[in-house]
Amino acid sequence: MNKSNKALIGGIAVGLAGLAIARYVRDCNSGNKAEEIWTTANIPDLTGKVIVVTGANSGIGYEAAREMARKGARTILACRSLDKARVALEQIQSEIAGAQVEIMGLDLASQQSIRRFAYEFTSRYDRLDILVNNAGIMWTPYSKTEDGFESQFGTNHLGHFALTGLLINHLLKTPGSRVVNVSSIGHRNGIMDFDNLMFEGGNGYSRHGAYSRSKLANLLFTDELERRCRAINADAIAVAAHPGGSNTNLSRHVENLWFVRILRPLLEWMTQSPAMGALPTLRAAVDPAVRGGQYYGPGGFMEMTGYPILVQSNAASHNLADARQLWSVSEELTGVTFEVFDERTNKYQGVTR
């Protein structure tokens, strides 16, 4: 057993102990004060709004898309698998009469697919009220996207960075628009190493380390996007959310690991449903009280379960130098530039928040 696996197993053991305590505490006390309980009943009327949710065929994305469609939004399920997306579409339409839902193909591991999606969307719609950057992969073995990016960083961060950049003009011309980046409590273990950003050739790669880095990148991107929106006084905000511990298929790449098989019953017992896990994303997307740069997650012990509240990410996620360097590197890697910020701020110099 190599050092990385030992560290991973040790971390999981500690985490499981904490999760067990968290579940016990949650069972004894919901973790939220009565006045902090925010549910789907708090979602306002969304009639007339156009919303894109990536990875909306299952899990958090599906639950969020369904509830926004229930409130009248024109909701686009942006999914890699169109077969799975059709099933999700049929489920929503059968449950919600008159739901305005459609599917569009989007593979965030392919810059070509991202550009194709953006072209199709902007050709058909003249507004974008909410972009939910939800899709992602977790703890995959080392591999590369078709563009040569490490898969977790390429999908979870670079894919959404490019998508947002290609849709930014539609967002900025839509009053009160929002970008919601779905991160993870795993960001706390992320380390930005710009000298080996994507573990080239598998150098230094670990499944959990790469995932945590990609989730930290989501938050750095959120902060920098929000700063740039404020610099041009845009009527748009960037916010983030995390689902806590949710029982979704995001962990499908680790299901066959021996310790995961052994601990699966315990893991399922200690996590919450995708519907509960989607609430922080929904709140960040539609709550009128949300402000730019905020971060929402479950309000229970260790932010693993519970109803959504305003939470805090770690100090590394607010590192201004890292955020700006990540932005520059991401533009270079994807070829997607947010020219509107440069054009309207005389080569943006940045503002602090």
Domain count, the chain: 1
Residue 9 lies in a domain: no
CATH number of the structural domain spanning residue 214: 3.40.50.720
Q: How many CA atoms lie within 13 A of 306 on its CB side?
A: 29
Closest CA to 182 of 275, 285, 102: 285
Q: Is residue 12 part of a domain?
A: no
* Residue 311 pLDDT grade (very low, low, confident, very high; cuts 50, 70, 90): very high
Task: With a cut of 70, say whether residue 319 has pLDDT above it.
Answer: yes
What are the DSSP calls for 34-54, one per residue? GGG---GGGPPP-TT-EEEEE
Residue-wise pLDDT tens digits, 116-142: 999 999 999 999 999 999 999 999 999
Q: Is the pTM of this model over 0.75?
A: yes
211 annotated active-site: yes
Nearest by Cα to 228 from 158, 292, 298, 137 = 292
Residue 18 has pLDDT above 70, yes or no: no
- Distance from C-alpha of 115 to C-alpha of 86, rounded to nearest angstrom: 22
11 lies in some domain: no
pLDDT digits (tens, 9 = 90+) for 157-179: 999 999 999 999 999 999 999 99
CB atoms within 10 A of CB 97: 6
Mean pLDDT (whole number) for 94-99 = 98
Say which of 24, 62, 142, 211 is annotated catalytic.
Answer: 211
Residue-wise pLDDT for 330-352, tens only, equals: 999 999 999 999 866 544 444 43
pLDDT at 265: 55
Tell me the pLDDT of the chain averaged across its residues. 88
pLDDT tens digits, one per residue of 220-261 = 999 999 999 999 999 999 999 999 987 655 455 555 655 555
Asked if residue 24 belongs to a domain, the reply is no
Range of the structural domain that residue 301 is part of: 36-345
User: What is residue 171's predicted lDDT score, i.e. its pLDDT?
Assistant: 98
Domain assignment of residue 65, yes or no: yes
- Name the strands in the sheet holding 74-79, side by side, starting at the edge strand that comes first in the sequence: 101-105, 74-79, 50-54, 130-133, 177-182, 236-241, 295-298, 308-310
- Any domain includes 111: yes
Query: For residue 43, what are its two tokens?
Result: 């979602």
Residue 111, judged by CB atoms within 10 A of its CB (0-12, 13-18, 19+), counts as: buried
Q: Helical H runs in 173-206?
A: none
Q: How many CB atoms lie within 10 A of CB 99?
A: 20
What's the DSSP call for residue 186? Answer: G
Residue 16 lies in a domain: no
